[in-house]
């Protein structure tokens, strides 16, 4: 025996389907925008690293060509390059956090924890090294 659907029961089901579709579309929009922001953070990090590498390369080449002449030294080049790399690492950490925040699985959370830990250690060591370079430059006296 076949049961016919009554219009009274069909109406709430249609409404439920429509609200479910709306909820999924809002979630999809939030997911898409979050991933776009993460891609933008990756792009910023790439641009910063590329610009820093170009600047350090040019300054290193100039320091090499003027080797016998007085110049500020390689330490200032390393200091600026390290500061830019530290900033780029911060953008990469933000990107990883955004990507994991939208679709977390235990595997992704573990990978994020490992990546963030490695990048934080690198950032701390870069910061420590740049502080040491800055202190060394401040204590050196200019030649007479």
The model's pTM is 0.67
3-state secondary structure of 61: helix
When computed from its CA atoms, the radius of gyration of the chain, rounded to whole angstroms, is 27
d(CA 87, CA 82): 9
Mean pLDDT over each residue of the chain, to the nearest integer:
78
Q: Dihedral angle at the C-alpha atoms of 56, 62, 65, 69, nearest 10 degrees?
A: -120
d(CA 111, CA 27): 24
pLDDT single digits (tens) 36-77: 999 999 999 999 999 999 999 999 888 888 776 666 677 788
* CB neighbour class for 67 (10 Å; exposed up to 12, middle 13-18, buried from 19): exposed
Average pLDDT over residues 105-132: 84
pLDDT single digits (tens) 17-36: 555 555 567 778 888 899 99
Average pLDDT over residues 68-89: 81
| Greatest C-alpha distance within the chain | 107
Is the distance from CB of 45 to CB of 95 less than 8 angstroms? Answer: yes
């Amino acid at each position: 025996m076949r049961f016919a659907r009554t219009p009274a029961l069909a109406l709430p089901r249609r409404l439920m389907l429509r609200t479910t579709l709306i909820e999924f579309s809002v979630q999809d929009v939030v997911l898409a925008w979050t991933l776009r922001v993460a891609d933008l953070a990756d792009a910023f990090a790439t641009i910063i690293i590329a610009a820093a590498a170009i600047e350090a390369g040019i300054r290193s080449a100039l320091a090499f060509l003027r080797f016998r002449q007085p110049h500020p030294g390689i330490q200032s080049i390393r200091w600026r390059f390290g500061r830019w790399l530290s900033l780029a690492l911060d953008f990469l950490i933000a990107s990883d956090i955004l990507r994991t925040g939208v679709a977390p699985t235990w595997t992704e959370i573990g990978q994020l924890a490992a990546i963030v830990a490695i990048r934080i250690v690198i950032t701390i060591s870069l910061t420590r090294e740049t502080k040491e370079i800055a202190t060394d430059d401040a204590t050196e006296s200019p030649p007479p």
